[in-house]
Every structure is written in C-alpha cells, then in structure tokens.
Amino acid sequence: MTTYAFLSPDWVEAAKQLRAEYADQLPEPAVEARINVVVTDVPHRDGGQMLGHIDTANGETLIEEGHLDDPELSVTVDYDTAKAAFVTRDQQKVMEAFFGGKILVEGDASRLLALQADPPEDVAPLLYEMYERLNEFTA
C-alpha cells in the first residue's frame, strides 16, 4: 500500500477519501464546536506550519485546511503531537504534551475535551477500523 507523510497534500486527500467512505455510517458529533488548529514543525510544509480547522456545527465532523473566521477555540500543537492525536491515538503522549505546554489552547477547552470523549459502544468498532486504515497509509 502507498503511504504518505502525515499532513502532506497526498495524505490530506487520502484522509478525505477515507472520511467520505464512512460518512453515512458515523453518528453526529457529541458536541458542536468550531476549532482552528495550527500544526507547527511540519517538515514538508513551506514555513513549517499547517492551518486547519475542525467544524461540527452542521452535524458532522469536518476537518479541513484553512482557518474559520469565527472559531470558538484555537489550538496550536506540534507535528508529533498532532500525529499522536489524529493518527496513532496515543492519549498518553497527548496528555504529556498538554501538561508539558506543547498544546496551546485559546478559548473554551471544554469543547475540545468533549470531542476527545470515548465513542459510544456501537460506534467504537467503526472508528477503530477507520483509524486502522488511516495508520495504514500514514508514513
């Protein structure tokens, strides 16, 4: 299987295709949130940064490039921590990064925590399958 560097344009496209495959099977997000994300230290991006956002306002979780004009929350995180949060789901590494000051949060952090909650039992296998497939194409 072809693999792509995390957050490279090809990886972003593959992640969007994966999301589209599962879109009709996923439940509505647990909380409505509009979050801007800045990922720093991205080795294969000009300027070393990637700007993105997470938007659950329309009843589905959209993760896209670019920033929202009116976010409720902004998060700045380094590349390795972002990969631990979004791909490998290494919660211990994410918590260590948070307490070590590697995750900067501006705004209502409760929305971010609600999005990180454990999925409902009936949805968990589907999400784990998605993360497994995401890991397969992530270098």
Q: What would the mean pLDDT of 5-30 be, rounded to a whole number?
A: 91
pLDDT of residue 78: 96
In a domain, 91, yes or no: yes
Tally of domains in the chain: 1
In a domain, 1, yes or no: no
Q: What would the mean pLDDT of 42-46 be, rounded to a whole number?
A: 90
In a domain, 3, yes or no: no
Q: Which amino acid is at 135?
A: N
Question: Residue 25 sits in which domain range?
Answer: 9-136
In a domain, 125, yes or no: yes
Q: Which range, of 22-31, 37-46, 95-104, averages the lowest pLDDT? A: 22-31
Task: For residue 83, give the CATH number of its domain.
Answer: 3.30.1050.10
In a domain, 4, yes or no: no
DSSP type of residue 29? P
CA 3 centroid distance within chain? 18
pLDDT per residue as tens digits for the range 97-134 = 989 999 999 998 887 777 777 677 877 888 889 999 99
Q: How many CB atoms lie within 10 A of CB 121?
A: 7
Mean pLDDT of the chain: 90
For residue 20, CA distances in Å to 79, 86, 102 come to: 24, 17, 31
In a domain, 132, yes or no: yes
Q: Which amino acid is at 45?
A: R
Can you give the pTM of this predicted structure? 0.87
